[in-house]
Amino acid sequence: MRTIDTIRERINTRLELQGIVLTMHDRRNNLTNQVEDDVRAHLKDKVYKTVIPRNVRISEAPSHGKPALLYDLKCPGSQAYIQLASEVIQRERARPQAA
């Protein structure tokens, strides 16, 4: 957050944080859940509802030279990215447009 504030102060006064994406998420891990709770408590509606799970197929995609969605469209990670894209679009449509 300090980095964003610094950039806003020194380079781009109009810089906005659209949202935070939680990635490499593993619900079985207590630390992951604790971090998610803390981030959501601190940043509230800036955090997207969609989380990207830790997923082997997503990790394998770059070594095959493919984006995750082309490598395995049906894996949980790819499905989460599709859901995130939908959420980003919805959030953008709901934003008031600058004049």
Cβ atoms of 68 and 61 within 8 Å: the answer is: yes
Q: Which domains does the chain have, with CATH numbers?
A: 2-94 (3.40.50.300)
Q: Which residues contact 95 (CB under 8 A, 6 or more apart)?
A: none
- pLDDT digits 0-9 by tens, 35-48: 999 999 999 999 99
* pLDDT string in tens for the chain (99-residue length): 899 999 999 999 999 899 999 999 999 999 999 999 999 999 999 999 999 999 999 999 999 999 999 999 999 999 999 999 999 999 999 988 765
Q: In the chain, which ranges are E strands? A: 20-25, 47-53
Please count the other Cβ atoms lying within 10 Å of the Cβ belonging to residue 18. Answer: 11
